[in-house]
Structure 1
Amino acid sequence: MAIAPQSRTTGRVAHVALWVLQVVLAGFFVMSALGKFTGAEPAKSTFEAIGWGDWFRHLTGVLEAAGAVGLVVPPLAGLAGLALVALTACAALTEWLVLGGPGVLPLSVLVLCAVIAWGRRDSTKRLWSLVSRR
Structure 2
Amino acid sequence: MLGSEQSVELFADIDVGQWLRHVTGILEIAAGIGLLIPRLSGVAAPGLFGVMSGALITEAFIVDGSLVARSSG
* TM-score, with structure 2 as normaliser: 0.77
* Partner in structure 2 of residue 14 of structure 1: none
Alignment equivalent of 1:77, drawn from 41, 52, 63:
41
Structure having the higher Rg: 1
Unaligned runs of 5+ in 2: 66-73
* Partner in structure 1 of residue 69 of structure 2: none
State how 1:35-54 maps to structure 2 within 5 Å.
Answer: 38-54=2-18
Distance 1:60 1:48 in 2: 14
RMSD over equivalenced CA pairs, Å: 1.7
Higher-helix-fraction structure:
1
- Deviation per residue, 1:23-65 (Å, 9 max, x gap): xxxxxxxxxxxxxx82214321221121111111111111111
Matched, 1:86 2:42: no
Provide the identity percentage: 37
The aligned length equals 65
Q: The residue matched to 1:88 in structure 2 has which SS? A: helix
* Partner in structure 1 of residue 68 of structure 2: none
* TM-score, with structure 1 as normaliser: 0.45
Name segments (4+ residues, structure 1) moved above 2 Å.
none
